[in-house]
Amino acid sequence: MHDQTQTIRPRLFLDSADRAAWDEWLPTGLFHGITTNPTILANAGIANTLSELSRLSHIAFEADVSEFQAQTWGRSSEALIDNGRVIAALDPRMVVKVPITREGAIAAATLKAEGVRITMTAVYAAHQALSAAALGADYVAPYLGRMNDAGRDGFGEIAAMQEIIRASRSETRVLVASLRAADDLVRLGRLGLDTFTFSPNVAASLFAEELTEAAAEVFEMAAEG
């Protein structure tokens, strides 16, 4: 049973491998951790190698994040497992992301049996959340913006995923990715979602409230006499 006295907080991740973005946003205290994948690394000009992931994760943990999520890779389950093992061995706070393909499911099952923490990623359909829960994944990561871009009802699919997780009493968390605006968090938060990863641009939008800025300036002017 869960301790009823325990405070459950929303869990936010910064979806970036950009060190300047880390320096800007991690000090806010909002972010539980960092999420990356090979595309995010490439966009930051970082090679997708185990040595680079080791370097990056060390920097992230020095910045006091609780988790660093890095994606394993390979066209076979064996390669996904081998790379996932090395990623997991970097630090106990590592979470290994695995695409929710057939080969990925095989890899995730093996890694979970070895005690590795797992995020099933590249999720586009509600039934995939059930698969992730059956695997015992720590997180399942649907791509909201990309689902909407493909003409699907992203919000509806993610709401269904959350219902599936709750109904199955799984401890898997729905980690919503590919968010485009602060309003996406509001809409999903009202549906009970509490775990999100987003870009530095979305992080900036959380503080883009003119009335708050104006009120803060009035306070400062009053304090200065």
Active site residues: 97
Any idea which residue has 């936010």 for tokens?
12
Task: Identify whether the C-beta of residue 68 lies closer than 8 Å to the C-beta of residue 40.
Answer: no
What's phi and psi for 178, nearest 5 deg? 60, 45
Which residue, 39, 36, 44, is CA-closest to 18? 44
- Pairwise CA distance, residues 83 & 109, whole Å: 14
Which residue, 163, 200, 207, is CA-closest to 15? 200
- Provide the residue type at 98 as one letter: V
Q: DSSP state, 6? A: S
- Pairwise CA distance, residues 197 & 195, whole Å: 7
What's phi and psi for 72, nearest 5 deg? -75, 165
What's phi and psi for 173, nearest 5 deg? -100, 135
DSSP-based helix, strand, coil % in the chain, nearest 5: 50, 20, 30
